[in-house]
Amino acid sequence: MATRYPGVIPPHMLKRLSEHGSESQRRWASSTLSTDRHFRQPMAAREMAAALHAEYSNSPRGTPSRYIFDAGHKTELPGELVLSEGEPATADDTAHEAYTDLGATYRFFYDVFERHSIDGEGMALLGSVHYGEAYQNAFWDGRQMVFGDGDGEIFLPFTRAIDVVAHELTHGVTELTAGLVYYNQSGALNESISDVFGVMVKQYQAGQTVDEADWLIGAALLGPEVQGKALRSMAAPGTAYDDPVLGKDPQPGHMDQFVDTTDDNGGVHINSGIPNHAFYLIATELGGYSWETAGAIWYAALTDERLANDAQFVDFAGLTMAHATQRFGSKVADIVQKGWQQVGIGP
Amino acid sequence: MSRFDDLNHIARLRITREGGIVAAPGLARPRDIELSRCSPPEQQQLCKVLAAGEAAGGDQACGAGDQRYFRICLFTLSRQEAQPDDELRVPESLAPDALVQLWRDGRIDDPS
């Protein structure tokens, strides 16, 4: 017997979907929402990941150690191992995308910053694909990366976007360096750093200068039904989408519009638009390739032991200015300071 | 014992699913439940669901690395603009089926 609650107000998004979504979108919504049945066994997953890291984290410097698992549309991690480092391409495009995107992200961190994987010591890159049924998310769980397939209309497979794959891997880097607390400004900084390195990996892979880049996050994974161009825009925060199902992009690009909220862990994916936009302003003012100067400054600040895990935007900005001065001189430091000022941070 | 054994002082619950790689407003799908419109047995079921969520890992720091989580806000006042008086967060990976169903469908299947 099912108990119905007469006082329940229909969720506004399901109403939106029922009014505006296609028949297949409605089917997708039901499927996505029912993935949680098999979510348990976190300890088993943790033990499995620890064993995998112990076994596979042994690559020489300059070489990644990638292992891709197929979760088989279930939610137990990591799933079945389907592609190991050095093996020929698999017929599964999604597994292959995860493998190549993780390789490109490894290559970026190693070539540009001489960082040997997530921990700097060759940590295995574990990724699970086909997680859940039409699961519309990708995440880093502290041990591995996980990618859903999306529904095919709003979200395509999350491996489709190299910047999203790099975003998740960078969460691992941040966790093992600054360890920025995932709440309020430090959480938004954590999110912004994943976007900054994610977009740089995309630009590095494409060989794009700052003027050639689109400065969008997740453009490749939005489906044809979405009224929008990406998950986020670093050039113009708040303009990435305005969609009947997703709603409107809530990101601010200036401290004047800082969103004071308890949603989203204090707006970690919302207020990240502010440091995102600062990076965009600084990188485009500097010109050339984003990773050469702006990226080098951001990496130095991220890995600086003075960066506290509860750092505020202004703390991170101060470190970027210090590293800009130390590594590139006062002219670059002035550009960095001006960029932060343009988003309302710093003197 | 759970702090949710008795909801007599609560007027309204709001359940949202938050987190994930994008904070699109449309993905949270808030579910509001007015306690005054629930029968005593239904209120008892809600108590059990919240206690199960608490026992399964509620109140952990959750959401890091784009992981999703369920957030239950409890209000002593029914008006929409009120601030929550208590809050429970449950990682999606640990959420009891009944909590997920309550958020998704606005009902709980009674095992009896």
The domain spans of chain B are 12-105
* pLDDT of residue A22 exceeding 80: no
Tell me what pLDDT residue B110 has: 61
Is A141 in Cβ contact with B67 (below 8 Å)? yes
Q: What ipTM, to 2 d.p.?
A: 0.90
As a whole number of angstroms, the distance between CA A65 and CA B36 comes to 57
The closest CB to that of A39, out of B22, B35, B94, belongs to B94
The closest CB to that of A11, out of B29, B61, B97, belongs to B29
- pLDDT band for B111, please (50, 70, 90 cuts): very low
Sheet holding B31-34, edge to edge: A8-9, B31-34, B12-18, B69-75, B86-91
Token output for A199: 């977009």
Tell me what pLDDT residue B6 has: 86
Tell the CATH superfamily of the A184-342 domain.
Answer: Neutral Protease Domain 2 (1.10.390.10)
* pLDDT of residue A306 exceeding 60: yes
As a whole number of angstroms, the distance between CA B63 and CA A131 comes to 17
- pLDDT band for A8, please (50, 70, 90 cuts): very low
**Residues 6 or more apart whose Cβ sits within 8 Å of residue A171:** A140, A190, A194, B64, B65, B66
Q: Which of B21, B80, B107 to mutate to test the interface with A (most CBs of A within 10 A)?
A: B21
Mean pLDDT, chain B, rounded, equals 88
Tell me what pLDDT residue A64 has: 96
What's the fold here for domain A38-160?
Answer: Elastase; domain 1 (3.10.170)
**Residues 6 or more apart whose Cβ sits within 8 Å of residue A211:** A284, A287
Q: Which residues of B touch A243 (CB under 8 A)?
A: 24, 26
Q: Does A116 qualify as catalytic in the annotation?
A: no
Chain B stretch 54-93, residues whose beta carbon is closer than 8 A to a beta carbon of chain A: 61, 63-68, 92-93
Q: In the beta sheet, which residues pair with residue B88?
A: B72
The predicted model gives A155-170 an average pLDDT of 97
Q: Which residues of B touch A267 (CB under 8 A)?
A: 23
- pLDDT band for A17, please (50, 70, 90 cuts): very low
As a whole number of angstroms, the distance between CA A82 and CA A70 comes to 6
Q: Does A168 qualify as catalytic in the annotation?
A: yes
As a whole number of angstroms, the distance between CA B52 and CA A6 comes to 23
Mean pLDDT, chain A, rounded, equals 88
Cα distances from B8 to residues A7, B3, B43, B50, B55, in angstroms, run 16, 12, 9, 14, 21
Question: Model confidence over A128-137: pLDDT tens digits?
Answer: 999 999 999 9
Residue type, A47: E
Burial class (CB in 10 A: 0-12, 13-18, 19+), A58: exposed
Tell me what pLDDT residue A7 has: 24
DSSP-assigned letter for residue A80: E
Please count the residues of chain B: 112
Token output for A168: 């998740």
In chain A, where are the structural domains located? 38-160, 184-342
Tell me what pLDDT residue A264 has: 93
Q: What are phi and psi of B96, to 5 degrees?
A: -65, 150
Q: Which residues of A touch B42 (CB under 8 A)?
A: 3, 5
Is B68 in Cβ contact with A141 (below 8 Å)? no
Tell me what pLDDT residue A215 has: 98
Is any Cβ of chain A less than 8 angstroms from the Cβ of B8?
no
* pLDDT of residue A320 exceeding 90: yes
Check if the beta carbon of residue B54 is closer than 8 Å to that of residue A271.
no
The one catalytic residue among A116, A130, A171, A269: A269
Burial class (CB in 10 A: 0-12, 13-18, 19+), B45: buried
- pLDDT band for A48, please (50, 70, 90 cuts): low
Q: Which residues of B touch A10 (CB under 8 A)?
A: 106
Tell me what pLDDT residue A53 has: 79
**Residues 6 or more apart whose Cβ sits within 8 Å of residue A286:** A210, A293, A294, A332, A335
Distance from the Cα of B57 to chain A's closest Cα (Å) equals 11
Is A218 in Cβ contact with B30 (below 8 Å)? no
* pLDDT of residue A161 exceeding 70: yes
SS3 of residue B62 by DSSP = coil
Tell me what pLDDT residue A23 has: 45
Give chain B's radius of gyration (CA, Å).
13
Which of the residue ranges A158-167, A231-240, B29-38 would you say has the lowest mean pLDDT? B29-38
Among A13-17, A48-52, A88-92, the range of highest mean pLDDT: A88-92
The one catalytic residue among A97, A133, A153, A168: A168
Which of the two residues, A297 and B82, has the higher pLDDT score? A297
The predicted model gives A279-303 an average pLDDT of 98
Tell me what pLDDT residue A26 has: 45
Chain B stretch 90-109, residues whose beta carbon is closer than 8 A to a beta carbon of chain A: 92-95, 97, 100, 104, 106-109
Is any Cβ of chain A less than 8 angstroms from the Cβ of B16?
yes
Q: Which residues of A touch B74 (CB under 8 A)?
A: none
The predicted model gives A99-109 an average pLDDT of 98
The predicted model gives B93-110 an average pLDDT of 88
Tell me what pLDDT residue B8 has: 87
How many beta-carbon contacts under 8 Å exist across A and B?
155
Is B42 in Cβ contact with A5 (below 8 Å)? yes
Q: Which residue reads 């996980």 in tokens?
A: A146
Tell me what pLDDT residue A46 has: 62
The predicted model gives A203-230 an average pLDDT of 96
Q: What separation, in Å, do the N-terminal and C-terminal C-alpha atoms of chain B show?
A: 22
* pLDDT of residue A179 exceeding 70: yes
Question: Model confidence over B32-57: pLDDT tens digits?
Answer: 999 999 999 999 999 999 999 999 88
Tell me what pLDDT residue A28 has: 39
Residue type, A48: M
Is A13 in Cβ contact with B65 (below 8 Å)? no
The predicted model gives A185-204 an average pLDDT of 98
* pLDDT of residue A16 exceeding 50: no
